[in-house]
Every structure is written in structure tokens, then in C-alpha cells.
């Protein structure tokens, strides 16, 4: 039972609920007989605001080019930055809205959304305004992340870019956040060899923390950088990627209750070593999942991400579901309101056309057939037009 305020009023056995609410009237009753009701999925890491298409790079990757080789050939992030800077706010909003709708149809009800394809103050603010506009106008939860340190802009050194972010970007973010023009929750840095080193990363993250942003950053992806140790030391809420994390970093994250946001699509698409999910889980790290949706990893579907996590990272289906719901909400600092079906939490739900919830993971790429309803704050935001007319098997 979900109230008008969008929060869950009661959870329990059908007969108990019927007796408890026998005198109540409801705007809508959904018959879920033979179906499963799950918490809305949480996508803990996405880059969904950009212009320009990088489908040509997929062919380069298939021919054996590495991420950094494409980057050095003028592709990768800088290709997207060039197109994103040229795009109008309206153009960016329209494509972003379309992508969020696709994520929602795949069961995501809360999505972390990064800037990071502007790399100068004007373009980064343009992206953050687009994210705020979607947050206000669409029925989907958004956690907004400033990722101005996604790459070193052309013509600048990493030190110059770091100084620019600390001295110019972050003070402006603080000012516009206070005035309500933008709404930012997290700060992100791509801590990587040839991008932002450990010292630059520390400076930017600390400066972001000082203006009230949660630390949630890219680390230990292509090279071991001791990002996990740094994140634990700074009190990071989460660190993403971690393909090259050290054993000491895993121990530090577990002790600090810093979530690991693992991105099986990235390792799959770039043919990288898979993140050590089993080792992290056994060490007591809070493991979350994200799609890493971006021009380099074009995936909207958390059910597909969960499937990849199970097959390639050896997670159980229970672990994958927790990682795509309550743990992903924790990685965004929202586990008190999102990520599970509990009284008092936000009424974000996914109803699937199967008597066993595992089908959402087991049936690879089948979410369009399986998902009957997506509900945000008690409101049906997606109903499958074939709902109730077909079997999920």
C-alpha cells in the first residue's frame, strides 16, 4: 500500500492488508497475482548528458584498439566534449530525457547522473542545469554529480585543470547551488594514470567535500592508483570501477563502509579484467552496481547489468539484486529512503510478469517482455502495453 505522499504505508500478507484497509478507498489497485513486486532498480553510475555519436569507435575497439589509443587518436571523451560544448541546452535536455525514459522502462527508478563532457565551467554548468530540469520535470529519481575532472581539457595540464576546478568551478557551483539554479549531490574525479593523479584527485575531492558534496569517484580502473585507500581516508560514499583495486584498498573500503560501484558493462565492452566482486563481498565491502551508460558503454538496462554481474563477476542473483537496489541506493546516500520495500520508504516498485523474481536476471535482455509496471512514488510511470496478455516464458 502506497499513500498519496508517495511513501509505502504498509507491507505484508494479502489477507492482513485487506483486513487492515477494508474501509479505505484507493485511486488504483493493481492485481499482481502470479507476479513479483520488486524494489525499483537503482543505477549507481551513469553519464547520460552528452551529444555526438561514437558508434564508429566500437569498430575500432573490435579491431583491437585500446581505450587510451582511441583517446590519443582524438576519440573518446574529447570527441564527446567537442559535440557537447556545441549542443544547446534544449538539445541536451531532449536526448537526456529520452535516455531516462529508456532507463525507466528497464526498471530504473533512481539514477545517478554525471556531468563531465563539458570540462569548462560554462559547459559543465549547462549539463548540471539540464540534470536539474529533468529532476524537476520527470517522474524518476536523480542523484546529480559534478564530474568536471572527467578528463584534462585540451591545452591544460592536469595541475592547471585541478587549480581551475578548485578556484573557479567549485566556488561557482556552491553559489548556484545556494541560489537554487543547480542541484548537485556528488563530486567525481577520474583518478587515473595520464588523467588526474592521486594528489590532484585528493585536492579536488576534498574541496568538493568542503562545499557539502558527497565523494563518489572513478578509481583503480586501468591502473592501480591506490584510489580505494584514498577514498576510504577521505570518507568517500562510493568509488566506481575498481578493476585494479589492491587488497589493501579492499580492506580499507570495507572498514570505512565505502561502497564499491562495479560496472560489468565497462569490463565487458573494453575487454578489461573483471572487478573482483567475490573478493570484495567476502571482505565485507558494500557492493553496488551501475550501468556506466555513456557513449563508450551504451547500456540502459540494469537487468542486463545484473546478468553480466552474475555471469562475469560470479555474483549470486541475490547479491546482484541487492547491489542494484539497496546497495546502489547506499552508494548514493539514499538507502534510508530508497532501495527496498519497507514501510516509510518511497514507493518505487517494479512489477514483473513472473512468479519468480529471478527471471529478471535469468532472461538476458528480456526486460521489455518481463516488466509490466514501473512505479515511482506510488505513481505508475510505465505500463507495458502487452501487460497481462502474454506469458513471460
190-238 pLDDT tens trace: 999 999 999 999 999 999 999 999 999 999 999 999 999 999 999 999 9
Q: Is residue 392 part of a domain?
A: no
Query: What is the domain count for the chain?
Result: 2
246-264 pLDDT tens trace: 999 999 999 999 999 999 9
Q: Is residue 301 part of a domain?
A: yes
Q: What is the mean pLDDT of residues 135-151?
A: 98
Does residue 364 carry a pLDDT above 60?
A: yes
User: CATH no. for residue 70?
Assistant: 3.20.20.140
Does residue 119 carry a pLDDT above 90?
A: yes
Residue 97: the pLDDT is 98
Residue 211: the pLDDT is 98
Q: Is residue 1 part of a domain?
A: no
Residue 386: the pLDDT is 79
Q: Is residue 126 part of a domain?
A: yes
Q: Is residue 175 part of a domain?
A: yes
Domain co-membership, 237 together with 365 = no
Q: Is residue 248 part of a domain?
A: yes
Does residue 391 carry a pLDDT above 70?
A: no
Q: Is residue 271 part of a domain?
A: yes
Does residue 389 carry a pLDDT above 70?
A: no
Residue 388: the pLDDT is 61
Domain co-membership, 104 together with 120 = yes
Domain that holds residue 20: 7-37+345-383
The three-state (H, E, C) secondary structure of the chain, written as one string: CECCCCEECCCCCHHHHHHHCCCCCCCCCCCCCCCEEEECEEECCECCCCCCCCHHHHHHHHCCCCHHHHHHCCCCHHHHHHHHHHCCHHHHHHHHHHHHHHHHHCCEEEEEEECCCCCCHHHHHHHHHHHHHHHHHCCCEEEEEEEEECCCCCCCCHHHHHHHHHHHHHHHHHHHHHHCCCCCCEEEEEECCCCECHHHHHHHHHHHHHCCCEEEEEECCCCCCCHHHHHHHHCCCEEEECCCCCHHHHHHHHHHCCEEEECHHHHHHHCCCCCCHHHHHHHCCCEEECCCEECCECCCCHHHHHHHHHHHHCCCHHHHHHHCCHHHHHHCCCCCCCCCCCCCCECCEEEECCCCCCHHHHCCCCHHHHEEEEEECCEEEEECCCCCCCCCC
pTM: 0.96
Q: What is the mean pLDDT of residues 70-76?
A: 82
Q: Which of 28-37, 70-79, 142-151, 180-189 has the lowest mean pLDDT?
A: 70-79
Domain co-membership, 22 together with 160 = no
Amino acid at each position: 500500500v502506497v499513500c498519496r505522499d508517495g511513501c509505502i504505508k504498509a507491507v505484508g500478507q494479502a489477507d492482513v492488508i485487506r483486513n487492515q484497509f477494508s474501509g479505505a478507498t484507493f485511486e488504483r489497485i493493481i492485481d499482481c497475482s502470479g507476479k513479483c513486486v520488486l524494489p525499483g532498480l537503482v543505477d549507481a553510475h551513469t553519464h547520460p548528458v552528452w551529444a555526438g555519436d561514437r558508434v564508429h569507435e566500437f569498430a575500432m575497439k573490435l579491431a583491437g584498439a585500446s581505450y587510451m589509443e582511441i583517446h590519443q587518436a582524438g576519440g573518446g571523451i574529447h570527441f564527446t566534449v567537442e559535440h557537447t560544448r556545441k549542443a544547446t541546452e534544449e538539445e541536451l535536455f531532449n536526448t537526456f530525457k529520452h535516455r531516462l525514459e529508456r532507463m525507466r522502462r528497464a526498471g530504473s527508478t533512481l539514477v545517478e547522473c554525471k556531468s563531465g563532457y563539458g570540462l569548462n565551467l560554462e559547459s559543465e554548468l549547462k549539463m548540471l542545469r539540464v540534470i536539474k530540469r529533468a529532476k524537476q520535470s520527470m517522474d524518476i529519481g536523480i542523484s546529480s554529480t559534478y564530474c568536471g575532472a572527467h578528463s584534462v581539457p585540451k591545452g591544460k595540464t592536469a595541475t592547471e585543470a585541478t587549480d581551475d576546478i578548485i578556484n573557479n568551478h567549485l566556488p561557482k557551483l556552491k553559489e548556484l547551488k545556494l541560489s537554487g539554479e543547480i542541484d548537485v549531490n556528488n563530486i567525481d574525479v577520474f583518478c587515473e594514470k595520464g588523467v588526474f593523479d592521486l594528489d590532484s584527485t585528493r585536492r579536488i575531492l576534498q574541496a568538493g567535500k568542503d562545499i557539502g558534496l558527497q565523494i563518489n569517484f572513478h578509481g583503480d580502473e586501468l591502473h592501480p592508483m591506490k584510489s580505494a585507500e584514498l577514498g576510504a581516508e577521505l570518507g568517500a560514499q562510493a568509488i566506481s570501477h575498481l578493476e585494479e583495486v589492491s587488497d589493501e584498498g579492499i580492506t580499507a573500503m570495507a572498514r570505512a563502509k565505502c561502497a564499491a560501484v562495479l560496472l560489468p558493462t565497462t569490463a565487458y565492452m573494453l575487454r578489461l579484467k573483471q572487478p573482483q566482486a567475490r573478493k570484495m563481498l567476502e571482505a565485507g565491502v558494500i557492493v553496488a552496481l551501475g550501468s556506466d551508460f555513456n557513449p563508450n558503454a551504451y547500456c540502459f538496462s540494469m537487468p542486463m547489468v545484473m546478468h553480466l554481474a552474475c555471469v562475469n563477476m560470479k555474483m549470486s542473483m541475490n547479491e546482484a539484486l541487492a547491489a542494484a537496489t539497496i546497495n546502489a541506493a547506499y552508494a548514493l546516500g539514499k538507502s534510508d529512503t530508497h532501495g527496498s520495500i519497507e514501510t516509510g520508504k518511497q514507493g518505487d516498485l517494479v512489477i514483473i510478469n513472473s512468479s519468480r523474481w529471478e527471471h529478471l536476471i535469468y532472461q538476458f535482455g528480456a526486460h521489455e517482455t518481463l516488466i509490466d509496471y514501473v512505479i515511482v512514488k506510488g505513481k505508475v510511470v510505465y505500463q507495458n502495453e502487452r501487460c497481462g496478455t502474454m506469458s513471460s516464458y
